[in-house]
Amino acid sequence: MHFKKKILVTGGAGFIGSHLVRHFVNKYPDYLIINFDKLTYAGNLENLSDIETALNYKFFKGDIVEKNDILEAFQKYEFTDVIHLAAESHVDRSIEGPMDFVMTNVVGTVNLLQICKEKWQGNNHVFHHVSTDEVFGSLNEEGFFLETTAYDPRSPYSASKASSDHFVRAFYHTYGFPIKISNCSNNYGSHHFPEKLIPLMINNILNHKPLPVYGNGSNIRDWLWVVDHVSAIDAIFHDGHIGSSYNVGGLNEWTNIDLVKYLCEVMDRELGRPLGTSEKLIVFVEDRKGHDHRYAIDASKLVNDLGWKPSVTFEEGLALTVKWYLENQSWIEKVTSGAYQSYYEKMYNTK
Ligand code: NAD
Ligand code: TYD
């Protein structure tokens, strides 16, 4: 079968990657989507069980740190484009051990860039690098991150992502390599690994466990439904300018404490518990080291140039998310068994 494009999606078995793979496989039957993933603790092929037999979907188990893995995938599929999501993605883990972040996020990204630069000929290719707003650092109460905001990463995670962004941009400026970058705010939605704030709280509420809020809970994040991040990547991948970066965010800022309280309310209602039951589980714990105060995105370039807008309000997106976790408790039971238990003890029992 002839495919119009053959897109290598790295990290396609992770949280955002699995939503992106599903969207592209279903929406573009004339594209071949190759999910290239190492299957770390964060990668889970069950996230894609509904599309695994689709004719335009392939899975390739590989590590972007290993050049030979990427070369083998190229030999097998001759991919024409890349949407690069594979990364170590959790700030708390990067504080405990930065080296995995340097290897996958920096070395892995440069490996991919180099191989694509060597193999691709002609103009009809795109390397879309998926990044984060955390590269811009931390805001006070005022202002927003723009595409032109100077980079000021502060955690080992954001430093590794900033470094990868710089390499991606350097390949454009130095070699004219066809890149696009998107920098998105915090995502939430189904299939989100319960090390991150929202799924961790959902899991703990379900199990009547303490809800650990770092510091005094006044840190602010700008939350976007993962499906809306995917539609932004689709728009940028197809219609964004080569060499450009685009900020993605939903003008949806919440302090952590307000968000956790709101989530408690939604969960109490869904679980038929008296209102106020889950909120009693909140505990303020030792703050994260170097905790960034506020992230907030100005996405006007994406909205004005490419006509993107979020499809749901936060209230709607969170309701859908909670519903998914309640209907898929076996998913969360599986991913929280084994290694997750020792992770949780190490991270939280000392706080
Ligand atoms: P995730 O941790 O859920 O998934 C990462 C995926 O990458 C996993 O499937 C994992 O197995 C795979 N992977 C890790 N190391 C690999 C390697 N060396 N080779 C091949 N595969 C490897 O992450 P996510 O939350 O889905 O984030 C995806 C991307 O989006 C990341 O680049 C992240 O920086 C970026 N991002 C995330 C958010 C967010 O809120 N989650 C926001 C903005 C940007
Ligand atoms: P997280 O989901 O780890 O995303 P990021 O650090 O990339 O923004 O954390 C979101 C916010 O929630 C951040 O300010 C840290 C805070 N947080 C807690 O208060 N308790 C927790 O158990 C976790 C995981 C995060």
- Provide the CATH number for the domain around residue 237: 3.40.50.720
Domain range for 216: 197-220+253-294+314-348
Residues 161 and 285 occupy one common structural domain = no
Residues 239 and 258 occupy one common structural domain = no
Residues 271 and 229 occupy one common structural domain = no
Please report the pLDDT score of residue 139 as a whole number: 97
As a whole number, mean pLDDT of residues 232-245 equals 98
How many domains does the chain fold into? 2
- 142 Cα to the center of ligand 2, angstroms: 21
Question: Which residue minimizes the CA distance to atom 11 of ligand 2?
Answer: 197
- Identify the bridge partners of residue 285 per DSSP, sorted by sequence position: 214
Closest ligand 1 atom to Cα of 133: 43
Residues 264 and 136 occupy one common structural domain = no
Please report the pLDDT score of residue 112 as a whole number: 98
Whether 133 is a known active-site residue: answer yes
Whether 152 is a known active-site residue: answer no
The reply to whether 134 falls in a domain is yes
Please report the pLDDT score of residue 98 as a whole number: 98
Among the options 133, 234, 253, 292, which is catalytic? 133
Residues 29 and 128 occupy one common structural domain = yes
Q: Whose CA is closest to 164, among 186, 137, 132? A: 132
Closest ligand 2 atom to Cα of 134: 7
Residues 45 and 151 occupy one common structural domain = yes
The reply to whether 299 falls in a domain is no
Residues 171 and 41 occupy one common structural domain = yes
pLDDT in tens, 107-141: 999 999 999 999 999 889 999 999 999 999 999 99
The reply to whether 302 falls in a domain is no
Note whether 255 and 222 are within 8 A (CB): no
Backbone angles phi and psi of 231, in degrees to 5? -70, -30
pLDDT in tens, 189-211: 999 999 999 999 999 999 999 99
Report the CATH number at residue 326.
3.90.25.10
Residues with CB under 6 Å of ligand 2 are 91, 186, 196-197, 200, 212-214, 219, 221, 256, 288
Residues 210 and 172 occupy one common structural domain = no
Average predicted confidence (pLDDT) for the chain: 97
Among the options 37, 88, 134, 253, which is catalytic? 134
Residues 172 and 288 occupy one common structural domain = no
The reply to whether 307 falls in a domain is no
- 20 Cα to the center of ligand 2, angstroms: 23
Backbone angles phi and psi of 152, in degrees to 5? -155, 55
For 121, the token pair is 């000929």
The reply to whether 30 falls in a domain is yes
Half-sphere exposure of residue 190, counting CA atoms within 13 Å on the CB side?
A: 18
Handedness of CA 48, 51, 55, 56 (dihedral sign): negative
The one-character DSSP state at 19 is H
Ligand of minimum distance to the alpha carbon of 94:
2
Note whether 4 and 30 are within 8 A (CB): yes
Note whether 269 and 207 are within 8 A (CB): no
The reply to whether 52 falls in a domain is yes
Note whether 152 and 241 are within 8 A (CB): no
Beta strand residue intervals within the chain, DSSP E = 5-10, 31-37, 57-61, 81-84, 127-132, 179-184, 186-188, 211-214, 220-225, 245-248, 253-255, 282-285
Residues 111 and 207 occupy one common structural domain = no
- 6 Cα to the center of ligand 1, angstroms: 21
